[in-house]
Amino acid sequence: MGRVQRLIALCVAGVLALMAIFFFQPGGDDALGRLRKTGVVRIGYAVEAPFAVLGDIGEITGEAPEIARHVVERLGISHIEWHQVELGGLIPELRAGRIDVIAAGLFITPERAEKVLFSRPTMAVRQAMLVPAGNPRGLRSYMEMAGRWDIAVAVLAGSIEDTLMARLGVAGGRLLRVPDALTGRRAVETGLADALLLSEPSLRWMLSRGEPARLEVAVDDELESGLPAFAFRLDEPKFRDVWDEALAAYLGSEEHLAMLASFGLSWTPPATQKTGG
C-alpha cells in the first residue's frame, strides 16, 4: 500500500472512530431518541423510604420511582432497568454513563448542580432529626447541633445532611457517616449518635414501621425546605427538558396525589425552579 493509500485509510479509520464516539456515547443531544430505539432506560435509586422503597417481593416503588414510571410511559420508552446504588454513588454512576436517570428523592444543591442537571422539584421537604423519645438532649436545629461539641450526629454518606454538617465544621467522632437510614437509626438507639439527620418524610416513615415509643422526630424549622428532583447528565439538556414537560403535567394531578397518599405523603408544591441548566 502506497503512502496516499495509507493516509486515506487512516483518515477513514479516524472518521469511523469519531462516528462511533458520537453515536454510542451515553450522553448526547438525542438521548431520548437513543432510549426509545433501545426501549430501555436505566434508572438509579438509593433506598430511602418513602422516596424509594423496596416492596414485599423486592420490587422498587416509592415517590420517585412511581413518578418515573409515569414519565417513562409518556416518553414512549418501553422498559425500565433499575439499578440500586448507595446514595453517595448515584452521581458518579450517572456521570460514568452506567445509568441514565437518578430517581431517589435527590435534593437539589449548588454542589450537585455543578455535576448533574436537575428536573423541576417534585415537592418541598422539611429537614428533621430522629432522637430518643423525649428528646433528652433538647435538639431543635442542625445549626444548634453543629455548635455543640457534646453532640454526635449520624448522616447518610453523600447526603445533603452530610454536606451541611461538614460545611458547619462537624467532623471526626462527632460525625458518623452511615450507608443507609436503618444503620443510622441503630446508631441512635444504641447511643453511638445523639440524632440521625434526614428529611421529615423519611424519618416519619421509619417510625411508622418500627417502635415509635423509643424514638421521636424533631423538625428543624430554621432551615429552608429541601427540594427533591430527578437528575440527568450535563450533556443531556434536551432529555431533561422533555422529562420536565411530562413531569409538570403530572405533578398535582389526582393520580399524583393518590400515589403520594399511598406512601403517607401530601404534596407541598415547591416554587418552580431548575438548578444546573
Q: What pLDDT, in 10s, does the model give residues 204-220?
A: 998 887 666 789 999 99
71: closest CA among 62, 80, 81? 80
Q: What is the pLDDT of residues 154-209, one digit of tens each?
A: 999 989 999 999 999 998 889 999 988 889 999 999 999 999 999 999 999 988 87
191 exposure class (CB count in 10 Å sphere: 0-12, 13-18, 19+): exposed
Residues 199/126, Cβ–Cβ less than 8 Å = yes
Residues 120/244, Cβ–Cβ less than 8 Å = yes
Residues 247/230, Cβ–Cβ less than 8 Å = yes
Question: Given a cut of 70, is residue 26 above it in pLDDT?
Answer: no
pTM to 2 decimal places: 0.80
Question: Given a cut of 80, is residue 16 above it in pLDDT?
Answer: no
Q: Mean pLDDT over residues 7-11, rounded?
A: 44
Q: Is 46 left (phi over 0), alpha (psi -120 to 50) or beta?
A: beta
C-alpha separations of 26 from 33, 34, 43, 233 in Å: 12, 9, 13, 9
Q: Write down the H helix ranges in the chain.
A: 3-24, 31-38, 63-74, 90-95, 110-113, 142-146, 160-167, 181-189, 200-208, 237-250, 254-262
Question: Given a cut of 90, is residue 6 above it in pLDDT?
Answer: no
Confidence label for 270 from pLDDT (cuts 50, 70 and 90): confident
Residues 6+ apart with CB under 8 A from 103: 43, 44, 45, 52, 64, 65, 67, 68, 230
Per-residue pLDDT at 118: 98
C-alpha separations of 134 from 28, 130, 166, 215, 218 in Å: 53, 11, 27, 8, 10
Per-residue pLDDT at 211: 62
Per-residue pLDDT at 66: 97
Per-residue pLDDT at 18: 39
DSSP-derived letter for residue 259 is H
Min mean pLDDT across 166-170, 248-252, 268-272 is at 268-272
Per-residue pLDDT at 19: 39
Question: Cell digits for 277?
Answer: 441548566
Question: Given a cut of 50, is residue 11 above it in pLDDT?
Answer: no
Confidence label for 153 from pLDDT (cuts 50, 70 and 90): very high
Domains, the chain, ordered by start: 30-124+226-262 (3.40.190.10), 127-219 (3.40.190.10)
